[in-house]
A and B are shown apart, each in its own frame.
Chain A
Amino acid sequence: MGTVPSALKHCLSYQHLLKEQLWIGEPVASPPAAPHPGQESQASGLPEYIKIVEVGPRDGLQNEKVIVPTDTKIELINRLSRTGLPAIEVTSFVSSKWVPQMADHKEVMRGIERHPGVQYPVLTPNLQGFHSAIAAGATEVSVFGAASESFSKMNINCSIEESIEKFEEVAKSARNMNIPVRGYVSCALGCPYEGNIIPAKVAEVSKRLYSMGCYEISLGDTIGVGTPGSMKRMLEASVLMLHFCVVIFQMGVAVVDSSVAGLGGCPYAKGATGNVATEDVIYMLNGLGVNTGVNLYTVMEAGNFICTALNKKTNSKVAQASFNTGTIN
């Protein structure tokens, strides 16, 4: 804006700038105990605490072209464990024939440090994967449904109904072992094959997953086509169907998935970006005065580590603005 100033070198370093701003202050080391029901922050009407689920090591790396060695994956997850993130999706117990990037799931699961207070969910598409995950030490699993029949067919070669049946097997075993299950619904705001997805369908699939025992349902805008209006309509439909979960879920806790450095391109649009970057989400939440318990700097460092390992530029705008090639101050 305006003319480029001549005194550039006197401007504040990004560290100074970020520290100065109220919203980039040092966060609380660990998340607070369950907030009071309906507790909202100040006048903004937003929750006081938002749980960030880090999906970089699984969703991110799975969608990167470069396959990363096991040691690097373990190092990434260990670094993320030190950032304050409460949940880190570690790997996927899927056949390596389909997802070669996750072939080392057992080694990764066994190799990572397990920090107290941090959840380490893993993907388990079926009972076989579930058993394998438990044998490798998993204590939380995830199942992936979709709001689109075409997507379900193309992705896992079965209908939504058939996939739900498989997940029910997983959920039943998990229940017997007291293993929490997280449910994902893909294509919540649009499908790469079908296009428009109706909110009622998302709600229906969410409800099925919830009814089988998933403690949380993650709604995925798989191809990132959604806009604030379609997001609102989809959430309204889902919340109506799942109003009863309000009683059960921790009140006032909202949950957002993101990926460090915005790892993970979009397999449906070549060259396009995929996951939202954890750094950018935290930056926004910090600015809004919402507690996440996550230290932005350590996440940026973890992001820098994995981008170096992948030999790629970060997709996080905050990281781009911060890790200058030549510091200004």
Chain B
Amino acid sequence: RGARLTLSLCPQVSAAAAVGAFPKRVKVVEVGPRDGLQNEKTVVPTPVKINLINMLSETGLQVIEATSFVSPKWVPQMADHTEVMQGINKLPGISYPVLTPNLKGFQAAVAAGAKEVSIFGAASELFTKKNINCSIEESLERFDEVMTAARAASIPVRGYVSCVLGCPYEGKISAAKVAEVSKKMYSMGCYEISLGDTIGIGTPGSMKEMLTAVMKEVPVGALAVHCHDTYGQALANILVALQMGVSVVDASVAGLGGCPYAQGASGNVATEDLVYMLNGLGIHSGVDLQKLMDTGTFICNALNRRTNSKVSQASCRL
């Protein structure tokens, strides 16, 4: 029994709780191979990563975040970034963005064949300090170098803003701050801003408040949401974002990627569960759920772990 709602709702309440107009199409950005695998305890061999991405390429997904050009000293799980980038089948019509934290990473990425990159900002000063040892302002200055090089090479850049609904160090984050950082990154030239609830702490009300502030500075067509399911709120938060006009949603196959801030907790929302919901809402995503589930099964076997996707759990014959 997923949820039971009794009929004690009065008309105003049911109207208020009413599901509003949704976008007709949603672009699903698959972050499993990067954000997912980066946050899994088990390090996965290169051929497995390549096969994962190749299988994802067959599902109808249009964007698959492939890897991260970060020093292996910091992120050993992504040490094989060049081999992965060069080893995957790059199907036409599919984008394979990679993370590039600085100019050096950007250059390595382009040399390895990357055609799209991502940069990561944060709405929290403390998070930025702990993460990359500088202020938000300084981090954006570093990214400026990447933006300039990307522009010269005609490479699109996607911007991420972390901690949009809460920070593991600072706690509460103001919607105004999220809007400010988003605006800066958008003005710098990012074609899309992915707003990340990094610790999954947000609830539909705070999501709505944050998006309202951000949408004053960045057009909704350029916004994406990246919700973590650490507190079981991801789909509810995504639903609210869709109702407000957001039409790009990040997710991770099999819900790969735990939360580094709460041991044992879950992280990314599972792509299967997102697609199930979109299908139910009649929203076109272009993704074949069965093929996606098969891909999830593959990577979970490789990682020797159970899936975090409820849809997969319900569908597997255990």
Nearest B residue (CB) for A16: B171
A221 to B3, CA, bound (A): 6
Known: A2-B162, A272-B314, A276-B3. A321 touches B280 (CB 8 A): no
Q: Does B57 sit at the interface, judged by CB under 8 A?
A: no
- Say yes or no: A40-B2 contact (C-beta < 8 A), given A17-B201, A227-B277, A320-B265: no
Chain A hits for B14, CB < 8 A:
235-236, 239
Distance to closest chain A CB from B166 (angstroms): 6
In the complex, what's the smallest C-beta–C-beta distance from A282 to chain B, in angstroms?
11
- Chain A residues contacting B5 (CB-CB under 8 Å) are 218-219, 231, 235, 254-256
Known: A224-B2, A270-B317. A280 touches B265 (CB 8 A): no
**Cross-chain contact B9 with A254 (CB below 8 angstroms):** yes
Q: Give chain A nearest CB distance to B168 CB in angstroms.
A: 4
Residue in B17, B260, B310 whose CB lies within 8 Å of A46: B17
B residues 221-241 touching A (CB-CB < 8 Å): 226, 229-233, 236, 239
**A318 close to B232 (CB less than 8 A):** yes
* Stretch from A3-11, A117-125, A158-166 forming part of the interface with B: A3-11
Q: Considering only CB atoms, which chain A residue lies closest to B242 in the complex?
A: A228
Pick the contact of A283 from B120, B203, B226, B277 — CB < 8 Å? B203
Chain B min CB distance to A19 (Å): 9
Q: How large is the interface on A (under 10, 10 to 19, 20 to 34, 35 or more residues)?
A: 35 or more
B33, CB-defined interface residue at 8 Å: no
For residue B259, which residues in chain A have a CB less than 8 angstroms away from its CB?
Answer: 321
Q: For the complex formed, measure the closest distance between the CB of B224 and the CB atoms of chain A, giving whole angstroms.
A: 12
Say if the beta carbon of B152 comes within 8 Å of chain A: no
Query: Which one, B171, B204, B265, contacts A284 given CB within 8 A?
Result: B204
* B172 proximity list for chain A (CB < 8 A): 20-22
| Residue of B120, B198, B279, B314 with most chain A CB atoms under a 10 A cut-off | B314
Is B16's CB within 8 Å of the partner chain A?
yes
Contact A2 B206 (CB under 8 A): no
B8 touches A250 (CB 8 A): yes
Cα A46 to Cα B171 with chains together (Å): 25
B10 touching A287 by the CB < 8 A rule?
Answer: no
- Do A1 and B204 touch across chains, with their CB atoms under 8 A apart? no
Q: Which of B95-152 contact A (CB under 8 A)?
A: 99, 101, 120, 122, 127, 130-132
Residues of chain B lying within 8 A (CB to CB) of residue A8:
260-261
User: B230 is contacted by which of A189, A257, A317 (Cβ under 8 Å)?
Assistant: A317
B266 within 8 A of A: yes
Q: In the assembled complex, which residues on chain B have CB atoms less than 8 Å from the CB atom of A236?
A: 14
Which of A232, A273, A287, A316 interacts with B206 by CB under 8 Å? A287
* Complex interface bits, B27-44 against A, C-beta within 8 A gives 1, otherwise 0: 000000001001100000
| Interface-side segment among A101-109, A126-134, A241-249 | A241-249
Chain B residues with CB under 8 A of A293:
none
A200 to B276, CA, bound (A): 24
Q: Are A221 and B4 in contact (CB under 8 A)?
A: yes
Q: Encode A253-270 as 1/0 by CB contact (under 8 A) with B.
A: 111111000001010011
* A166 shortest CB reach to chain B, Å: 21
Contact check, A324 vs B264: say whether CB atoms are below 8 A apart: yes
Residues in B whose Cβ lies below 8 Å from that of A311: none
Tell me the residues in window 205-226 of chain B with beta carbons closer than 8 Å to chain A beta carbons: 205-206, 208, 226
B153 at the binding interface (Cβ < 8 Å): no
Q: Is the CB of A5 within 8 A of B131?
A: yes
Given A1-B120, A325-B264, do A249 and B231 touch, yes or no (CB 8 Å)?
no
The CA-CA distance from A255 to B13 in the complex, in Å, is 12
B154 adjacent to chain A (CB < 8 Å): no
- Give the docked Cα–Cα distance between A226 and B281 (Å): 10
Tell me the bound Cα distance from A145 to B294 in angstroms: 37
In the complex with contacts A8-B261, A12-B171, A266-B314, A220-B13 CB distance below 8 A: no
A189 / chain B contacts, CB cutoff of 8 Å: 2
Quick check: A46 and B16 within 8 Å, CB to CB? yes
**Is B263's CB under 8 angstroms from A328's CB?**
yes
- A residues less than 8 Å from B162 (CB atoms): 1-2
B75 within 8 A of A: yes
Establish whether residues A284 and B201, one from each chain, have CB atoms under 8 Å apart when the complex forms: no
Task: Tell which of B120, B205, B314 touches A224, judged by Cβ atoms closer than 8 Å.
Answer: B314
How far does the alpha carbon of A259 sit from the alpha carbon of B99 in the complex, in Å?
41
A21 to B199: give the CA distance in the assembly, Å. Answer: 13
State the CA gap A251–B11 with chains docked (Å). 9
Assembled-state Cα–Cα distance A3/B169 (Å): 16
CB-based contact A38/B232 at 8 Å: no
Write out the residue numbers on chain A whose beta carbons fall within 8 Å of the beta carbon of B122. 2
Contact indicator per residue, chain A 210-244, by CB within 8 Å of chain B (1) or not (0) = 10000011111111111111111001101100110
The CA of A11 and the CA of B38, in the complex, are separated in Å by 19
Question: A299: shortest Cβ distance to chain B, in Å?
Answer: 13
| Contact, CB under 8 Å: B265 / A289 | no
Known pairs A232-B18, A239-B11. 17 more at Cβ < 8 A?
A1-B160, A6-B74, A8-B261, A40-B12, A40-B16, A47-B9, A217-B7, A219-B5, A226-B2, A230-B280, A271-B313, A283-B203, A287-B233, A317-B229, A318-B231, A322-B265, A327-B263
Interface residues of B (CB under 8 A from A): 1-19, 35, 38-39, 68, 70, 74-75, 99, 101, 120, 122, 127, 130-132, 160, 162, 166, 168-169, 171-172, 196, 198-206, 208, 226, 229-233, 236, 239, 259-266, 276-277, 279-282, 310, 313-318
16 contacts between A and B (CB under 8 A): A3-B132, A17-B168, A45-B13, A225-B2, A228-B239, A239-B9, A245-B7, A252-B13, A254-B6, A256-B6, A264-B1, A272-B313, A272-B315, A273-B313, A275-B2, A322-B265
Report the 10 A-B pairs with minimum CB-CB distance, sorted nearest first.
A287-B203, A227-B280, A45-B16, A224-B2, A317-B232, A280-B232, A272-B314, A321-B265, A20-B171, A271-B318
